[in-house]
Amino acid sequence: MPQEYIPIAVLIILATGLAFLVVAIGHLFGPRRPTQRKGQPYESGMRPFGPGTRRMPVHFYLVAVLFILFDIEVVFFLPWAIVFRQLGLFGLIEMIIFIVILLVGYIYAWKKGAFEWE
Amino acid sequence: MIPDIVLFIILALVAVASAVGMLFSKNAIYSALNLILNFSSVAVLYLILGAPFIALAQVTVYAGAIMVLFLFVIMLLGAERLRRSETLPYQQPVSIILAAILAVVAIYALLFRPLGIEAASVANPDFSSPAAMAEMLFNEYLLPFEVTSILLLVAMIGAIVLTRKRQRRVQR
Amino acid sequence: MNLSNASASLNAILPLVVVILWACALLLVDLFITKERKGLTALLAAIGMLASLIITLARLDLEAVVFNGMVTVDGFSNFLTVLFLGSGIVAVALSYDYLKRMGLEKGEYYVLLLFTVSGMMLMAVASDLIVVFLALELLSIPLYVLAGIATPRLDSEESSLKYFLLGSFSTGIVVYGIALVFGATGTTSLAGIVDAITAGSAGMGLLVAGAAMLLIGLGFKVALVPFHMWTPDVYQGAPSSVTAFMAIGAKAAGFAAILRIFIQAFPALSVDLTPVLWVLAALTMILGNVVAIAQRNIKRLLAYSSIANAGYILLALVPYGQSDVAADSVASALFYLLAYAFTSFTAWSVVIALEQVEGKGLELEDYAGLSRRYPILALTMTVAMLSFTGVPPTLGFLGKFYVFRTLLEGGFPGLAVIGVVTSLISAYYYLRVVVYMYMREGEPQAIRDPWLYIAATASAICLVVLGIFSQPLFAWASQAMLH
């Protein structure tokens, strides 16, 4: 196990510990007087009816999928940035082709209104 | 410091436990959370194997982006409250028998190595450093890299074609 | 890799580059083509594939190993590239009027068609398992979308979802197989795998497991029994023009991968794999043909027929381990694929001509009396059915002839007997279609679209006429795979 990951491990432990700590503090010191009303989901004062979930516009999913696609694209930039200098012009052209192909998709998505809300 | 084997055993236990948890959770959201734990422990396994970039990709793409999409779908669809679907009556016994056969064969193969399955040779420590990997990706694997962008483009077109509303088209 | 050898590499796969760039450009151009003029998109798509086809034909004897050995351009890949591009162009001809009638005019249809063709072309030249995987994805993902392009029609959505789930599952198995092969040999290049086996550094047990998983995953794509479950539902639900292309292109691409991988990289494993191939081929022929008898819906019937045909193509591969037969193995498989492509396109264009909105006109009864009202359609369909059955002098007969000859050369008379017997069984349901068309009374409805008729009659004529030129065609198909 390479030693240089120890700071990251410490950070993870701290973050997890903090999360537990915050929840625990709220649990220990916060007043709790639950009533039936309080347990209900908040719907602007109305009495809730029906299930909380309903059919959502498919647009939400589309945005999520597009996010993932561009996210994966970004993953490729990271190694490229590391060896950018060694690769020189060749690497630049390579990356430009990669980006242009995705840019075609971006223009298409834009023109089709995939990023618009109604 | 802690030897790798101890780390490996701990992580392996976490990975297996979270995988089992994912399968047996009644609630789909717990399944998804278990899967995130599983992905994260596998990411650390990659780190131990000396593949930091793969570990990073595992966390950002799988544990991050894809699981967000999973949770998104589960919550919006309300799939966490779906009843268990009917299974075929013979499905469970057959699957248990098949799984048992697989387990026995796998243990036999691993312990006695009858088929000449060698242990993987230890790779050069620099083999999968981000820089070495990038050198390979952008030189030797040039074609697969570019084809990946086309794949992403096709996926984008597909997502838009299949979800676009009919008639009322938003255009400017 | 540097600029000059990258451009040399790109030059070697120029037809593929043309199709991909054309698809990207068409995607943007289509944004400015109004819904009423989608014929223009169809035309442009066909022109792009035609340009690529001309480039391929102009340098048919090109041989090159480029992209660090990941891509091999040779006689094998050139043959398949011509087959894929030709199928793509015919698919456009079948689609245009069909989409208009079904209200499915979307420019993306043709763009996705170009992308799936490019995936198939990549598969034909792939000589590295990583490229095989990417080609598999590039050809499959557009097909998943195309199968569902008739959304919100439920059967189309069902078809798309089933194809997607089982298809990505099988791709997963392919990736697993690649991982095992990599673990056994330390390389994904087909040439490297051979080197590792000869050097004795490969873990053979792991390698056999990997090869078996590759066979299973690719077997899903080409619909071998027992990995065929998705086929009837997907073929039935997808729009017919998509099904026609899927039945030909995806199957040919899957076999391209199987042939290239097994013959080039795994001849050393033939002791273990030949019995498996034997059983798979026998099961596929028997189940495909027997279940087809029960089908009343023409799309399902053709789906089972395509399963059975996968079995016949696999026959050619069974003796692949014998080095003196391997060349004939490739040639007869390619020739069969060509015959299958022509036959299928003939049959599917008639199906498309008869299909009405909302899945009507697809039952066998709807073909009753076709010979009276639409003699040309009935005649072309008859030629297709005879070719599927394997009646001389059609191309289908020659395809089966070469496959069986390869089998006998390899010393598998038992399997050849199964092949002949199942062919006889298949005559029952193929000829039943002919009986319906000629001997039953009915009022069939068909459309008269010039492109469809041209496609149907041209491929029917090819089925009969090309039979005469089978020798040069077979010689072309036997152009060696570069090792």
**How many percent of chain C have pLDDT more than 90?**
70
Is C477 contained in some domain? yes
Asked, as a colleague might, if the bond just before C275 is cis with ω within 30 of 0, I would say: no
Residue pLDDT, tens place only, A18-77: 999 999 998 898 888 888 777 777 777 777 776 666 667 778 888 888 888 888 888 888
Instruction: Note whether residue C214 is domain-resident.
Output: no
Contacts with C152 from chain B: Cβ below 8 Å = 166
Residue B69 to residue A71: CA distance in whole angstroms = 12
A117 assigned to some structural domain: no
Contacts of C1 in chain A (CB under 8 A): 90
Please indicate if any CB of chain B lies within 8 Å of the CB of A71.
yes
Place of tokens 């056999």: C208
Please state, in angstroms and rounded to a whole number, the distance separating the CA atoms of residues C218 and C196: 23
Question: Which of C467, C461, C457, C463 lies closest to C94 in space, CA to CA?
Answer: C457
In this prediction, residues C426-441 reach a mean pLDDT of 92
Q: Are C278 and C412 in contact (CB under 8 A)?
A: yes
Do C240 and C358 contact (CB within 8 A), yes or no?
no
Residue C315 domain flag: yes
The set of residues, in sequence order, having a beta carbon less than 8 Å from that of B11 and lying 6+ positions away, is B41, B44, B45, B48
Helix (H) or strand (E) holding C64: strand C64-66
Please report the pLDDT score of residue B63 as a whole number: 84
CATH class of B1-84: mainly alpha
What CATH number is associated with residue A51?
1.20.58.1610
C contacts of A76 (beta carbons < 8 Å): none
Instruction: State yes or no: pLDDT of B172 exceeds 50.
Output: no
Q: Which two tokens stand for residue C333?
A: 């498989």
Q: Going along C421-460, which residue ranges are E strands?
A: none
> Which residue range(s) make up the domain with C428?
282-483
Residue C26 to chain B, least CA–CA distance (Å): 12
Residue A50 sits at the chain B interface (C-beta within 8 Å): no
d(CA C308, CA C314): 10
Among C216, C242, C243, CA closest to C231:
C243
Q: Please give the residue range of the domain that contains residue A19.
A: 3-111
Q: What's the 3-state SS for A9-70?
A: HHHHHHHHHHHHHHHHHHHHHCCCCCCHHHHCCCCCCCCCCCCCCCCCCCHHHHHHHHHHHH
Residue C110 lies in a domain: no
What average pLDDT score do residues B72-95 get? 73
The one-letter code for the residue type at C77 is S
Share above pLDDT 70 across residues of chain B, in percent, rounded to a whole number: 80
**Is residue B170 pLDDT above 70, yes or no?**
no
Q: Which chains touch A (3 or more CB pairs under 8 A)?
A: B, C
CB pair distance less than 8 Å for C28 and A101: no
| Domain assignment of residue A71, yes or no | yes
For residues C409-418, average pLDDT: 92
**Is residue A116 a part of any domain in this protein?**
no
Nearest to A104 among C1, C3, C28 (CB): C28
Could you tell me which chain C residue has the CA closest to the CA of B135? C1
Q: What is the largest CA-CA distance in chain B?
A: 68
pLDDT, average across residues C187-205: 87
What ipTM was assigned to the predicted interfaces of this complex?
Answer: 0.92
CA distance C27 to B141: 27
Instruction: Give the pair of three-digit tokens for residue B132.
Output: 């070495």
Beta bridge partners of C363: C297
| Amino acid present at C122 | L
Tell me, yes or no, if A110 comes closer than 8 A to chain B by beta carbon: no
Q: Which residue of B has its CA nearest to C206?
A: B117
Question: Residue C210 corresponds to which tokens in the numbers above?
Answer: 């990997």
Q: What is the pLDDT of residues B24-54, one digit of tens each?
A: 887 888 889 999 999 999 998 888 888 888 8
Contact C127, B144 (CB under 8 A): no
Q: Is residue C275 in a domain? A: no
pLDDT exceeds 60 at position C481 = yes
Question: Does the pLDDT value for residue B66 go beyond 70?
Answer: yes
Domains of chain A: total: 1
Percentage of chain C modeled with pLDDT above 70:
99
- Residue B171, pLDDT > 50, answer no
Q: For C288-322, how does the pLDDT look when each residue is reduced to its tens digit (9 = 90+)?
A: 999 999 999 999 999 999 999 999 999 999 998 88
Indicate the pTM of the whole model: 0.91
Q: Extract the tokens encoding C89.
A: 């162009």
Distance CA C385, CA C391 (A): 9
Interface check A111 vs C, CB under 8 A: yes
Which residues on A lie below 8 Å from B152 (Cβ)?
A: 69, 72-73, 102, 105
